[in-house]
Structure 1
Amino acid sequence: MKDSKHYLALMAILSIGLGLFLYFGYNRQVQIGIVIALSAAYVVWGIFHHSLKKELHLKIILEYIAVATLASIVVIFLL
């Protein structure tokens, strides 16, 4: 699979983010910052991934932003 490096990078980003989120479990403000940073990294990764595949459209960008925003809201409100 030729996109496996892209997905491996995404898994590394999310794994590091999860590790940091758990490590800073005592500090809600830092956790919120990590969630926001992870969401931004996810959107950037999606844009990068689709631009390399020459499939980048406004609809795809908005979808990544919507998913990242929804996930951030859910996690932040569950803290």
Structure 2
Amino acid sequence: MKVHKHTPDYLILLLVVLISLVFFIANISNPMRQYEIIISLSFLYIAWGIFHHARNHDLHLKVVVEYVVIAVIGILLLRGAIFH
């Protein structure tokens, strides 16, 4: 089985998301803590994206803006769901 060169990067992202999900579920009765977890995950997602693209020598402002926009959309959607 051939391992793609990006596999370790994606495994790290998957691990971060799964750990965040565990903490999110563990704090089901604390909406503010859930929101903090979402904010933290969003910053980690942006940092991961910058790291991933810098490592591959294809980091550009447009790429960073895309990661920030996706993170903000995620925050807004989940904030609405948490604090409905």
Give the TM-score category using the shorter length: over 0.9
| Rg larger in structure | 2
Quick one: which amino acid aligns to residue 62 of structure 1?
V
2:77 corresponds to:
74
Q: CA deviation at 1:62?
A: 0.2
What does the per-residue CA deviation read over 1:36-79, in whole Å, with 9 as the maximum and x for residues that have no partner?
00000000000000000000000000000000000110001111
1:20 is aligned to 2:23: yes
User: Which one of the candidate residues 29, 34, 42 is aligned to 1:31?
Assistant: 34
User: Which one of the candidate residues 46, 62, 68 is aligned to 1:65?
Assistant: 68
Q: CA deviation at 1:30?
A: 0.4
Unaligned runs of 5+ in 2: none
RMSD of the alignment, in Å?
0.3
Query: Could you state the TM-score of these two structures normalised by the residue count of structure 2?
Result: 0.93
Query: Could you state the TM-score of these two structures normalised by the residue count of structure 1?
Result: 0.99
Could you tell me the percent identity over the aligned residues?
Answer: 34
Q: CA deviation at 1:5?
A: 0.2
Q: Distance in 2 between matches of 1:32 and 1:71?
A: 11
Q: CA deviation at 1:27?
A: 0.3
State how many pairs are aligned.
79
